[in-house]
Every structure is written in C-alpha cells, then in structure tokens.
Structure 1
Amino acid sequence: MKLHAIDISKSESAATIIFRALQKAIITGELSDGTPLRQDEIAKAFRTSRFPVREAIARLEQQGLVTSQRYKGAVVATLSMQDASEIFDLRAKLEADIVRAAVANMTQEITDQAHAHLDAFAACNDPMQWGPLNRQFHGTLYGVSGLPYHVEVVEGAMDRIDRYLRAQLIMSDGMARSDQEHRAILRACEARDAEQAARLTADHILAAKTSLEEQLRAQIP
C-alpha cells in the first residue's frame, strides 16, 4: 500500500493524522478505486493501534471516499458515471450561487491572488499539482462569498472527484480549455458582472462533467 507513513505512536491526534494521510492518498490516486483498507496493515504502518485507524476510516466513509463491502471490509470507493453526474450538477448550482454572492465583495487583492493562481496553473507541468491549484483559484474567489456552508459542501464534493478530474485533464488535454474558462470567469468578476460570472462558472463545471463522462465511458470495455 502506497502511504507516506510516520511514527505517531505518541500522538494524541492519531486518527486525524491517519485520516489526512489516507484522504490524500485517495484523492491523488495513490490508492486506486477498490483498494482494500486493511486496518492491521495501516495500524502497523503508522505504529499505532486499530482504534484510530477505525475512526479515520469511518470519517472517510462519511466523505464518500470509502465504502464497506461484504467479505472485503473498507475499500476505496468507485465513482460511477451517475455519481459523477450528480456531483457536477450539484457543484454547478452551488458554485454559481457562491461566485454570484462573492463578486460584490471582491477587492483588487483578491483578483490579483486569483490571477497568480491561474498563472501557476497554466505554467504547471506536474499533474499532481493541478487539483490543488484549481482549488486555490476557485477558493480565492469563493472565500469572500459570505456562504461558508455552501463552500464546505463544494469542498466535500471536490474531494470525491479530484482524482478523476486530474485523469480527465491528462487524457483529454483539457488544461488549455480550463485556463481559458477560468480567465473568462475572472474577467467577469473584475467587471463586477455577477450574473455573467455565475453563468460562466456553471458552464465551466458542466463542460468538465461532459468531458469526464466521455472519458469514463471510453474506459468501459
């Protein structure tokens, strides 16, 4: 199992450390769909007992990153096309509302930060960094929306699909298109056109949904 394990035998937050390590490994694709999460093996890797491992896995199940299967126990969840479609539809609605609310509160500092994230995204050749850079861009805009619960729900949805989005960008050569769509959203924000920013955000997410669905279908024998 590919995990960046550390000795946490004396840590008071073992469950949280294990949770974050497993979460990262799943999101980045180091732990692929269907990989069993064996509690004894994980506990040994982190030099701790099974109790914090069990708690960490329970938290991952709450996020939808892990599911329990008969005879296999906890495994990394597989995302179906139906699941992916629902997640993207939810994101399109929520993120359009979030950016619409955020536009009035955007300062020059916020838009400058967003530009910097876009430049880093466009210049990045490391696929493992595409997801974090994408989220930094959107997060910078959404952070002034005044809708923290909406943003929290979106973050959870992104956790579910990050590894698929990265694969989609690689397989479909979607970086250039994504960069263009991001910059169009930012221009609308700078122009204080909240409705245009909302529409472009929804279109951006739904275009990614269509591309991902095409990639998932192509993998079906």
Structure 2
Amino acid sequence: MKFQAVDISKTETAATIIFRALRKAIIEGELKDGTPLRQDDIAKAFKTSRYPVREAIARLEQQGLVTVQRYKGAVVATLSMQDAAEIFDLRAKLEADIIRAAVPQMTAEVLQTAEAHLDAFLRCRDPMRWGRINRDFHATLYSVSGLPYHVEIVEASMDRIDRYLRAQLVMSDGMSRTDQEHRAILQACQEGDADRAATLTAQHILGAKASLEQQLRSDPA
C-alpha cells in the first residue's frame, strides 16, 4: 500500500495522523478503489497499535471513502457513475449558490490569489497536484461567501470524486478546457457579475460530469 507513514508511537493524535495520511492517499489515487486496508499492516507502518487505526478507518467510512465488507474488512470505496453523477449535480447547485453569495464580498486580494492558483494550475505538469490546485482555486473564491456549511458539504463531496476528476483530466486531456472555464468564472467575479459567475460555475461542473461519463463509456477501466 502506498501512503506516507511517520513514527507516531509517542503522539496522542495517532488516529488523526493516520486518518489524514490514508485520506490523502485515497483522494490522490495512491490507494486504488477496492484496496484492502489491513489494520495490522497500517499499524506496523505507523508504529502504533490497531486501536487508532480502527478509529481512523471508522472516520474514513463516515466520509464515504472506505467501506467495510463482510469477510474482506475495510477497503477503499468504489464510486459508481450513478453515485458520481449525483455528487456532480449536487455540487452544481450548491456551488452556484455559494459563488453567487461570494462575488459581492470578493476583495482584490481574493481575486489575485484565485488568479495565482489558475497560473499554477496551467504550469503544473504533475497530475497528482491538479486536484489540489483546482480545489484551492474554487475554495479561494468561496471563502468569502458566508456560507460555511454549504462549503463544508462541497468539500466532503469533492473528497468522494477528487481521484475521478484527476483521472478524467488525464484521460481527456482536459487541462486547456478547464483553464478556459476557470478564467471565465474568474472574469465574471472580477466584473462583479454574480449571476454569470454562478451560471458558469454550474456549467463547468456539469461539463466535467459529462466528460467523465463519456470517458468511462469509452474506457471503463
């Protein structure tokens, strides 16, 4: 199994550290769908007991990143296209509302930071970083929305589909299209057009959904 292990034998936050490490590995695709999470192996890697490992896995299960199967134990959750489609549709509705509320509150600093993320996204040649930069761009714009619970739901939804989005970008060579859509959203924000920013955000998310569906039909693997 691929994840970054550290010696946490003397720390009181073992479960949290294991949770974050496994969560990162799942979201970034280092732990593939269906990969068993063997408690003994994880405990050995982190130099700790099985108790914090069980707690970390339970937290991952609550977030939908892990499922517990009879006879197999905990495995990395597999997301069906039907489930993914529902998440995309929910995001399109929520994020349109979030950015509509955020635009009137955006400062020059927020807009400059968002643009810096776009520049980093376009320069980046490491697929493992694309998902994080993409999320940083949207999160920057949403940070002034005043809708923290909406944003929290979006973040949890992104955790479920982040690895699929990264795969979709790689398989469909979607970097250029994504950059154009992001910059159109940013321009609407810079011009203070909240409704257009909301419309473009929803279209951007639903377009990613359609691209992923098409890619999975042509290459189910």
TM-score by length of 2: 0.98
1:104 aligns with 2:87: no
Instruction: Tell me how many residue pairs correspond in the alignment.
Output: 221
- Tell me, in whole angstroms, the C-alpha distance in 2 between the residues paired with 1:173 and 1:219: 14
Q: Could you say what secondary structure the match of 1:17 adopts?
A: helix
Q: Give ranges in structure 2 of 5+ residues lacking alignment.
A: none
Q: Report the counterpart of residue 125 of structure 1 in structure 2.
A: 125
Q: Could you say what secondary structure the match of 1:67 adopts?
A: strand
- Tell me, in whole angstroms, the C-alpha distance in 1 between the residues paired with 2:220 and 2:189: 39
The CA RMSD over aligned residues, in Å, is 0.9
* C-alpha displacement of 1:219: 3.0
Q: Report the counterpart of residue 190 of structure 1 in structure 2.
A: 190
**Identity across matched positions, percent:** 76
Q: Give ranges in structure 1 of 5+ residues lacking alignment.
A: none
- Report the residue type matching 1:174 in the other structure: G
Instruction: Give the 5 Å matches for 1:14-33.
Output: 14-33=14-33
Instruction: Give the 5 Å matches for 1:167-182.
Output: 167-182=167-182
- Tell me, in whole angstroms, the C-alpha distance in 1 between the residues paired with 2:103 and 2:139: 13
- Tell me, in whole angstroms, the C-alpha distance in 2 between the residues paired with 1:185 and 1:80: 29
* C-alpha displacement of 1:5: 0.9
Instruction: Give the 5 Å matches for 1:128-139.
Output: 128-139=128-139
Q: Report the counterpart of residue 73 of structure 2 in structure 1.
A: 73
* C-alpha displacement of 1:214: 1.4
- Tell me, in whole angstroms, the C-alpha distance in 2 between the residues paired with 1:12 and 1:193: 48
- Report the residue type matching 1:180 in the other structure: Q
- Tell me, in whole angstroms, the C-alpha distance in 2 between the residues paired with 1:195 and 1:159: 27
- Report the residue type matching 1:48 in the other structure: T
Q: Could you say what secondary structure the match of 1:79 adopts?
A: coil
Q: Could you say what secondary structure the match of 2:3 adopts?
A: coil
- Tell me, in whole angstroms, the C-alpha distance in 1 between the residues paired with 2:219 and 2:73: 26
- Report the residue type matching 2:51 in the other structure: F
* C-alpha displacement of 1:75: 0.3
- Tell me, in whole angstroms, the C-alpha distance in 1 between the residues paired with 2:133 and 2:66: 24
- Report the residue type matching 1:199 in the other structure: T
